[in-house]
């Protein structure tokens, strides 16, 4: 059952670190979300608090684009026609997920764990399109309008690819255990309910 979280019930600093980490060893936590939703910052906070590795699945995609000498946008368009690209990257991501003991960050991380029947705490972070564009523009020192156009093009490409390859609607919230809206909360506040839920599931 999905829980929609708008604010944390308990701050991260209230949890006894050693006791919490002892319970969490071996756990798989997936954190998904569109660019600018805060998933990287939150995933890092959760991994630090719980003593788990943080693996960003998007790095696999980015490194392969760099290896080919093309932009992420061009690589995403290429992957729309060559589904073997995604399948190879998926297998690399799944090998990490199957090992457990990790906060796995990636747009498809929760879906992959669900599809493979892996025991995981599946989290989705959300934020409005304008908020996400502003966050990315600030991070990249770019114009918001330019970022928004690029963001929309890539998200449309990705959504088509996920539907064609997996029959998966990326915007479907139902497979997630936690859906957290990050528009008006800090990364610490977004991380808190994840930590609390992880601790509760390990009692």
Over range 167-183, report the average pLDDT: 92
Residue 36 Ramachandran class (φ > 0 left, ψ -120 to 50 alpha, else beta)? left
- Residue 62: count other Cβ atoms within 10 Å of its Cβ: 13
Instruction: Indicate the pLDDT class of residue 80, thresholds 50, 70 and 90.
Output: confident
Q: Is the pLDDT of residue 10 over 60?
A: no
**How many residues does the structure list for the chain?**
203
Q: What is the pTM of this model?
A: 0.80
Q: Is the pLDDT of residue 105 over 90?
A: yes
Q: Distance between alpha carbon 95 and the CA centroid of its chain, in Å?
A: 17
Q: Tokens for 16, please give them.
A: 């006894």
Q: Which residues contact 80 (CB under 8 A, 6 or more apart)?
A: 157, 160, 161, 164
- 120: closest CA among 28, 2, 3? 28
* Strand order, beta sheet including 53-56: 3-5, 178-181, 121-126, 28-33, 102-105, 53-56
CATH annotation of 3-201: 3.40.50.300
- 2: closest CA among 172, 200, 179? 179
| Helix orientation angle between 58-68 and 83-99, rounded to the nearest 10 degrees | 140
Give the integer Cα–Cα distance in Å for 93 and 107. Answer: 11
DSSP state of 14: G
Instruction: Indicate the pLDDT class of residue 15, thresholds 50, 70 and 90.
Output: very low
Q: Is the pLDDT of residue 113 over 90?
A: yes
| Helix orientation angle between 83-99 and 144-166, rounded to the nearest 10 degrees | 90
């Amino acid at each position: 059952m999905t829980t929609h979280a708008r604010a944390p019930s308990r701050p991260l600093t209230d949890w006894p670190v050693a006791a919490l980490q002892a319970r969490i060893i071996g756990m798989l936590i997936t954190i998904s979300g569109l660019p600018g939703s805060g998933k990287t910052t939150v995933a890092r906070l959760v991994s630090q608090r719980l003593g788990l590795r943080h693996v960003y699945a998007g790095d696999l995609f980015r490194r392969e684009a760099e290896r080919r000498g093309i932009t992420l946008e061009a690589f995403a368009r290429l992957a729309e026609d060559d589904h073997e690209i995604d399948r190879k990257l998926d297998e690399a991501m799944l090998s990490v997920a199957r090992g457990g003991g990790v906060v796995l960050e990636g747009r498809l991380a929760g879906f992959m764990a669900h599809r493979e029947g892996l025991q995981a705490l599946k989290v989705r972070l959300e934020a409005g399109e304008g908020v996400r564009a502003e966050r990315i523009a600030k991070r990249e020192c770019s114009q918001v309008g330019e970022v928004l156009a690029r963001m929309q093009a890539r998200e449309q490409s990705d959504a088509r690819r996920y539907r064609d390859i997996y029959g998966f609607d990326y915007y479907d919230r139902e497979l997630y255990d936690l859906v957290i809206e990050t528009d008006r909360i800090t990364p610490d506040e977004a991380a808190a309910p994840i930590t609390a839920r992880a601790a509760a599931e390990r009692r």
